[in-house]
């Protein structure tokens, strides 16, 4: 595997090919965002003493968080396929890389793939947009029960959480924005298995 810090940005999928012959030869690494989740897939052509892969995610391509460890095949001369589902990606551009670890503790990084997980809105509306001191959330729902609203800042951090009580039909709720700096924010509403998102611009 070839360590690197570059990546490709897309709203769908990213594919990177690696041709260098190494103890673990990674030939494909892809990221696909769909139904609120990111599916990571990668394949190796050969493996030598491969303990496994530490899957890492970042919001900025610099600071990385380990999500999971996927065991490798050890030593193999045939193609090995791997899959990992990130069930709760950041509602912004997500960067992913693989840290391939040998049994002796040596490791190498893959190149980076990226995918935008903030592109779905599912019928949600925010007005005014751009906003200044407050904005109004509006959407139609057939759901009755409790929900939660999360407000994310431009780097994917939750800066406001607001409980919601839904009834079937049209729903509206105000979102106060006092004390928040200008930037592009994302509103996320979760209830049951449903996730709705919408970006808006906060101007000061």
| Residues in contact with 144: Cβ distance below 8 Å, sequence separation at least 6, in sequence order | 166, 167, 168
**Burial of 69 by CB count in 10 Å (0-12 exposed, 13-18 middle, 19+ buried)?**
middle
Q: Which of 184, 194, 185 is nearest to 123 (CA)?
A: 194
- Residue with the two structure tokens 């779905």: 120
Q: Let me know: does 100 contact 170? Beta carbons within 8 Å.
A: no
Distance of CA 169 to the CA centre of its chain: 30
Per-residue pLDDT of 75-125, as tens digits, reads: 999 999 999 999 888 877 789 999 999 999 999 999 998 887 765 556 788
Same fold, 7-116 and 125-202: yes
Per-residue pLDDT of 12-65, as tens digits, reads: 555 444 334 457 899 999 998 887 789 999 999 999 999 999 999 998 788 899
Strands 183-191 and 194-202: antiparallel
Q: Which of 88, 75, 79 is nearest to 27 (CA)?
A: 79
For the chain, the structural domain boundaries read: 7-116, 125-202
- What's the CATH superfamily of 7-116? Immunoglobulins (2.60.40.10)
Q: Is the pLDDT of residue 187 over 50?
A: yes
What is the DSSP code (8-state) at residue 141?
Answer: E
Q: d(Cα 95, Cα 93) in Å, to the nearest integer?
A: 7
Strands 25-34 and 37-58: antiparallel
CATH no., domain 125-202: 2.60.40.1930
């Amino acid at each position: 595997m070839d360590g690197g810090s570059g990546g490709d940005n897309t709203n769908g999928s990213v594919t990177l090919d690696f041709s260098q012959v190494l103890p673990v030869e990674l030939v494909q690494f892809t990221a696909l965002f769909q139904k609120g989740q990111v599916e990571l897939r990668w394949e190796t052509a050969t493996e030598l003493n491969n303990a496994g892969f530490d899957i890492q995610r970042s919001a900025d391509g610099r600071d990385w968080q380990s999500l999971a460890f996927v065991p490798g095949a050890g030593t193999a001369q045939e193609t090995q396929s791997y899959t990992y589902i990130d069930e709760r990606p950041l509602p912004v551009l997500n960067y992913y890389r693989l840290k391939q670890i040998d049994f002796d503790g040596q490791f190498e990084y893959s190149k980076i793939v990226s995918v935008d997980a903030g592109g779905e809105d599912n019928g949600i509306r925010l007005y005014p947009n751009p906003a200044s001191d407050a904005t109004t959330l509006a959407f139609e729902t057939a759901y009755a029960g409790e929900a939660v609203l999360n407000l994310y800042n431009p780097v994917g951090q939750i800066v406001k959480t607001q409980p919601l009580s839904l009834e079937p039909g049209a729903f509206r709720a105000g979102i106060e924005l006092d004390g928040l700096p200008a930037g592009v924010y994302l509103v996320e509403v979760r209830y049951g298995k449903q996730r709705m998102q919408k970006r808006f611009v906060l101007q000061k």
